[in-house]
A and B are shown apart, each in its own frame.
Chain A
Amino acid sequence: MKRLSLIGYGVLLLVACVLPFLVSEYRTFQFTLVLVYSIALLGLNILTGYNGQISLGHGAFYAIGAYVAAVLMDKAGFPYWATIPVAGAVCLLAGFLFGLPALRLEGLYLALATFALGVSLPQLLKYHHFEGWTGGVQGVVITKPDAPEFLAVLGLPLNQDQWLYFFTLAITVVMFLLAWNLLRGRLGRAMMAIRDNHVAAEAMGVNNAMVKSLTFGVSAMFTGVAGALGAIAIQFVAPDSFNIFVSLTFLIGIVIGGLASIPGAIYGALFIQFVPNIADEFSKAAPWAIFGLFLIGFTYLMPLGIAGAIRLGLARLTGKEHNSQPGKP
């Protein structure tokens, strides 16, 4: 099984590497967004899927990451790649600090607190004392990076979209490895223990408050990195880009993709990127009604998310019970 899934990931990576040479620039751009969303979803999944905390405000961290990247590029002259770690660090800190008081809240109450964060952030971004940096409602326009010159010298000329795709892909791989490592280690076990039974976890010596705050921070960091990459891909940030709908979309993404599943983040990202466009093509009058039908369809047919359905399907095919992945919370 171990080898099989390793081969599976290898093939996936190979496909991902060949993809931008097969499809148009516009599709490449869309797949770049899929990668961006998959990192954001992975971040939220660490929090919700693995640690059992519901966040309705992860769009806020996505926005912070995006703004950190945009402001650093626009005002401080940072190269685009250098903004990614800064965005991650800022969100790690912001998430951790927000986590400290918020984690006294459980379940739905935490959901409300994070919701408050998600709805208020776009307005705070318009705050006029920050306007010098954030550009107020006007937002910040950033320049799209060109592929580094050595690639052309090596005989591999990439256009801007292809380069950005590979740049994003590299960071996505790093982030996924990071998450995989984290989740199967000590901290990951502690997270899941808290999710499954926090009293028992505490009795086993897990520092609940600390682990939960850290999880919040790590989760925010992933989403912040995604936000920074998203800003570079879109070349523009404005408060209107980060309304509460972004947060809800992320939540939809992890549930549809599969809670507590690393590949689930990719499936979820594909869903939130492409299904609204499909819905729009079905009906101009009520695209969200069509989207709703898709949502209901998916939740009925695949109650464990797409990742869960694939796992079950594989199990049936090979005739074995797979329990290597943690199930739903």
Chain B
Amino acid sequence: MKRMLVPIAALLSAALASSAALAQKKYDQGASDKEILVGNINPYSGPASAYGTIGRTIAAYFKKVNEEGGVNGRQINMISYDDGYSPPKTVEMARKLVEQDKVLLIFQSLGTPPNSAIHKYMNAKKVPHLFVATGATKWNDPKTFPWTMGWQPNYQTEAKIYAQHILKEKPNAKIAVLYQNDDYGKDYLQGFKDGLGAKAKTMIVKEASYEVSDPTVDSQMAQLQASGADTFFNITIPKFAAQAIRRAWDSGWKPVHYLNNVSGSIGSTLKPAGLDKSVGLITTLYLKDQNDKAWANDPAVVEWTAFMKKYYPDGSLLATENFYGWNVAQTLVQVLKQSGNDLTRANVMKQAASLKGFVVPGLLPGIKINTSASDFAPIESVQLARFNGTDWVRFGEIMGK
């Protein structure tokens, strides 16, 4: 029956000129009438295994989508492999997904080093490398790497927002910066300087860096304090952020303290530092905090909680990673929906780069996902928040693009 329809359809389409071509189904490897095969690489073991739960949340979300009929009638099947946060393993797994399992795309591979390892490969193979789970700025480079795209606000975007805030609130600030001496720390510092523009040279009075292997940042903090700065930008991971917060308080230095979003967790940074010592810290947020009482009755959080209970009952309701995974998975589903019946890799990438004002429920009100052929940074706006001793309290407008 189907075979007979094809020539008829062909005749009809010839008669109707090009309009029928739009309805034509087009597939690349990994897509068919029945399914869309998605690859994923996550650290289920190894030093970053705490993030492995993101992969499980995403799998649970696709299960929900499939039970509700899938995307345009197709089931999303995800194959997820463990790379243990080891770049050589990531390469192997990415090749397995692309060449052996023949997935349509790779989604949410996690970490800057693992993604760096497959960056070139994915682009050489022209396979969509979508919404990678890292905040590095380099994923937004559509000219050189037209097949790779990040998701969360990147470090430079965030740092620019602190710079804007300082320029507005305290144009004569004397700023001290503490940063981790690696690509992450330097990425932030670069964005911060770009944000301050020509005034960066005069406003930043002291920079100090530390190595991840350092036991403490006490000596760096002493140097920064001695510089006479009245504003402090803290680019550190939770362990060192907690030390710096405590040290700044204990030594009696009371600068306006900006803390990078990387260490924004109340549980892993502010509690160890001391909640009373953290009052007044400023950071940025882009997702709702599912643990914050203020959001307890928010439809997004209610929906997410119900989803977790039904599809991922083992998953922790306290873990931000699970909330994140639920949101990022919805972004991919949107891209696949938009792709319609043209499930070629080129079209998937085109649709990923044509998200206009798309809203994921977990984003803070006012933040929208926008991408274009020259803008591969989906979330580029955040809101500033100040710590009041128990919660982050958002203030001001949504900033960024």
Instruction: Give me the interface of A with B, judged by CB distance under 8 Å.
Output: 24-27, 29-30, 33, 123, 126, 128, 136-139, 141, 230, 234-236, 238-241, 243, 245, 280, 284-285, 287-288
List 8 A-B pairs, Cβ < 8 Å. Answer: A126-B212, A128-B209, A136-B183, A139-B87, A141-B117, A234-B117, A240-B85, A287-B44
B91 contacts chain A at the CB level, 8 A cutoff:
yes
Q: Report B112-128 residues with CB < 8 Å from chain A CB.
A: 112-114, 116-117, 119-121
B116 lies within 8 A of A287 (CB): no
Tell me which of A27, A128, A238 contacts B116 (CB under 8 A). Answer: A238
With A and B bound together, what is the CA distance between A269 and B114 in angstroms? 23
B86 lies within 8 A of A123 (CB): no
CB distance from B84 to the nearest CB of A (A): 8
Tell me which of B46, B81, B92, B99 contacts A25 (CB under 8 A). Answer: B99
Chain B residues whose C-beta falls within 8 Å of the C-beta of A245 in the assembled complex: 46, 84, 86
With A and B bound together, what is the CA distance between A287 and B114 in angstroms? 19
A26 lies within 8 A of B100 (CB): yes
Instruction: Give me the interface of B with A, judged by CB distance under 8 Å.
Output: 44-47, 80-82, 84-88, 91-92, 95-96, 98-100, 112-114, 116-117, 119-121, 181-184, 209, 211-213
Q: Kindly name the residue among A139, A141, A234 whose own CB sees the greatest number of chain B CB atoms within 10 A.
A: A234
Chain A residues whose C-beta falls within 8 Å of the C-beta of B91 in the assembled complex: 234-236
A26 lies within 8 A of B82 (CB): no
Chain B residues whose C-beta falls within 8 Å of the C-beta of A234 in the assembled complex: 87-88, 91, 117
A284 lies within 8 A of B86 (CB): no
With A and B bound together, what is the CA distance between A25 and B94 in angstroms? 13
Chain B residues whose C-beta falls within 8 Å of the C-beta of A235 in the assembled complex: 91, 117, 120-121
With A29-B92, A236-B87, A241-B86: A24-B44 Cβ-Cβ less than 8 Å: no
Tell me which of B84, B98, B120, B181 contacts A128 (CB under 8 A). Answer: B181
With A and B bound together, what is the CA distance between A33 and B213 in angstroms? 31
With A and B bound together, what is the CA distance between A138 and B84 in angstroms? 17
- Binding site of B, secondary structure by majority: helix, strand, loop or mixed? helix
Instruction: List the A residue with the shortest CB-CB distance to B91.
Output: A234
Chain B residues whose C-beta falls within 8 Å of the C-beta of A30 in the assembled complex: 92
With A and B bound together, what is the CA distance between A164 and B34 in angstroms? 37
Chain B residues whose C-beta falls within 8 Å of the C-beta of A284 in the assembled complex: 44, 80, 82
With A137-B182, A236-B117, A238-B117: A287-B95 Cβ-Cβ less than 8 Å: no
With A26-B95, A136-B183: A287-B87 Cβ-Cβ less than 8 Å: no
With A and B bound together, what is the CA distance between A126 and B183 in angstroms? 10
Instruction: List the A residue with the shortest CB-CB distance to B124.
Output: A144
Chain B residues whose C-beta falls within 8 Å of the C-beta of A123 in the assembled complex: 211-213
Instruction: List the B residue with the shortest CB-CB distance to A230.
Output: B88
CB distance from A60 to the nearest CB of B (A): 16
B213 lies within 8 A of A241 (CB): no
With A and B bound together, what is the CA distance between A161 and B92 in angstroms? 13
Chain A residues whose C-beta falls within 8 Å of the C-beta of B99 in the assembled complex: 24-26
A238 lies within 8 A of B87 (CB): yes
With A and B bound together, what is the CA distance between A260 and B195 in angstroms? 61
Seed contacts A139-B87, A236-B120; 15 additional CB < 8 Å A-B pairs: A26-B95, A29-B92, A33-B92, A123-B211, A126-B211, A136-B183, A137-B113, A139-B113, A235-B91, A235-B117, A235-B120, A240-B114, A241-B88, A285-B44, A287-B44
CB distance from A36 to the nearest CB of B (A): 10
With A and B bound together, what is the CA distance between A138 and B209 in angstroms? 17
B92 lies within 8 A of A243 (CB): no
CB distance from B44 to the nearest CB of A (A): 6
B82 lies within 8 A of A29 (CB): no
CB distance from A140 to the nearest CB of B (A): 10
Chain B residues whose C-beta falls within 8 Å of the C-beta of A33 in the assembled complex: 92
Chain A residues whose C-beta falls within 8 Å of the C-beta of B114 in the assembled complex: 240
With A and B bound together, what is the CA distance between A71 and B293 in angstroms? 52
CB distance from A125 to the nearest CB of B (A): 11
With A and B bound together, what is the CA distance between A235 and B98 in angstroms? 17
Tell me which of B45, B95, B117 contacts A29 (CB under 8 A). Answer: B95
With A and B bound together, what is the CA distance between A123 and B212 in angstroms? 9
A141 lies within 8 A of B120 (CB): yes
CB distance from B183 to the nearest CB of A (A): 5
With A and B bound together, what is the CA distance between A241 and B114 in angstroms? 9
Instruction: List the A residue with the shortest CB-CB distance to B97.
Output: A26
